[in-house]
Amino acid sequence: MRTVRLAWRITRLNFRAQLEYRSEFLMMVAIGAVWQVSVIVFATVLLTRFTGMGGWDSSDVLLIPATRMLAHGLFVLFLGRVHGIGYFIQEGRIDTCLVRPMPVHLQVQLRAFPTNALGDLTVAVGLMAGALGRSGLDWTAPRVSYLVVAVLGGMLLEAALFTVVASAALRFPAADYWGSWLEELLGTFGSYPLNVLPKAVGGFLTYGLPLAFVAYFPAAVLTGHGEGTGVPHWLAATSPLLGLLAYVGSRLLWRWSLRHYTGVNG
């Protein structure tokens, strides 16, 4: 509890520091929102030009980018500083964290308040509200609960992927560039039903880079398309659990990598 209180205090101070420059603060929020303009354009074109995609109604498809965006916004807000940690390592600042009486991972997360996450979340909440408003599903308590858990699972899965990249960067700092590649893949393919892609690509985004488990599979389960995803229904339904297990595994990998860290110069 002492660590939680300290983390909350540091977060508040970081947030207040950001507010010292109001114009820059608002600009960063706007940048976070504008960065997701491609998702907004996709949703607009989907709803105005197409009746569906890959056998899904447009209202069902909309749930995929909404879930992915909300999971991504929460990731950026709570765990996103692990993305780009390569620069932190290359500058040698990670070495300072090693001598402080606080977990290194927590220090990395607390080094700044992610103002741009507020813009991401603004777009995500608006997109989710639109998806739920257009959906013809009966949003019972179990279905709402699954959606909440799916968003949290997607957040943890995205965090796990970037934590793996950060762990690699502890040994090979240039590996941080993989994070940009990963971010590009998530933004490019995360908003579509993967059954519209070639099977080889869909297989890679399911078993190689498990992007499908972030939003596609949970949305398929919620909308009744779980049987057409190309994987067993139980596997698609347990996507949130996979996110949790992947994050736990990535944190164990991070600890192992940190124990074997020898400095930016080897």
pLDDT digits 0-9 by tens, 182-206: 988 888 888 888 888 888 988 999 9
Cα–Cα distance list, 262 to 229, 250, 253 (Å): 44, 20, 16
Q: What is the pLDDT of residue 35?
A: 73
The reported pLDDT for the residue numbered 214 is: 95
Residue 52 has phi, psi (to 5 degrees) of 180, -175
User: What does DSSP say about strands 52-53 and 56-57: parallel, antiparallel, or unpaired?
Assistant: antiparallel
Can you tell me the mean pLDDT for 20-34? 83
According to the model, what pLDDT value does residue 191 have?
81
Instruction: Kindly report, residue by residue over 248-262, the tens digit of the pLDDT.
Output: 999 999 999 999 888
Residue at 26: amino acid letter: L
What is the SS3 assignment for 119-135?
HHHHHHHHHHHHHHHHC
Q: What pLDDT shows up at residue 42?
A: 67
Any bridge partners for residue 56, and if so which?
A: 53
Q: How confident is the model at residue 48 (pLDDT cuts 50, 70, 90)?
A: low
Residue type, 205: L
pLDDT digits (tens, 9 = 90+) for 195-252: 888 889 889 999 999 999 999 999 999 999 988 888 999 999 999 999 999 999 999 9
Predicted confidence (pLDDT) at residue 266 exceeds the cutoff of 60: no
More confident residue, 55 or 47: 55
Q: pTM for the complete prediction?
A: 0.91
Which is more confidently placed, 243 or 92? 243
pLDDT of 152 reads: 97
**Cα–Cα distance between 186 and 237 in angstroms, integer?**
20
The dihedral built from the CA positions of residue 150, 257, 76 and 229, taken in this order, carries a sign that is negative
Of 148 and 101, the one with more pLDDT: 148
5-19, 80-94, 104-118, 129-143: the lowest-pLDDT one: 80-94
Least confident of 39-43, 131-135, 197-201: 39-43
Q: Left (φ > 0), alpha (ψ -120 to 50) or beta: where does 198 sit?
A: beta
Stretch 44-73: mean pLDDT: 82
Q: Are 163 and 178 in contact (CB under 8 A)?
A: no
The mean pLDDT of the chain is 88
- 3-state SS, residue 52: strand
Closest by CA position to 167, among listed 237, 254, 94: 254
Residue with the bigger pLDDT between 129 and 175: it is 129
Residue 155: per-residue pLDDT: 97
